[in-house]
């Protein structure tokens, strides 16, 4: 199980490096599902959003998070 998780993480990191080379931002689409992701005063927030922001900011990848109903 750990090998599968490590492989998925490696593939995700490799994909994110490819995305980082693009000029337009990566669009992340999330479902409105509090407390993981929700809209607060016009901003997308939640603990999933916090994790995504930390990862993409540390990798230097421009992104945009959108909520769907």
Residue 26 lies in domain: 2-68
CATH of the domain at 32: 3.40.190.10
State whether residue 58 is helix, strand or coil: helix
At residue 1, does pLDDT exceed 70? Answer: no
pLDDT confidence of residue 22? 64
Helix axes 2-20, 47-59, angle to 10 degrees: 60
At residue 7, does pLDDT exceed 90? Answer: no
- Tell me how many domains the chain contains: 1
Q: Which of 3, 7, 24, 26 is nearest to 16 (CA)?
A: 26
pLDDT confidence of residue 9? 81
- 24-62 per-position pLDDT tens digit: 888 899 998 889 899 999 999 999 999 999 988 988 888
Overall pTM surpassing 0.75 (yes/no): no
């Amino acid at each position: 199980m750990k090998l599968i998780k490590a492989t998925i993480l490696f593939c995700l990191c490799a994909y994110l490096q490819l995305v980082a080379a693009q000029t337009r931002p990566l669009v992340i689409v999330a479902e409105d599902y509090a407390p993981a992701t929700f809209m607060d005063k016009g901003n997308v927030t939640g603990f999933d959003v916090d994790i995504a922001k930390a990862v993409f900011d540390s990798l230097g990848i421009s992104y945009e998070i959108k909520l769907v109903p």
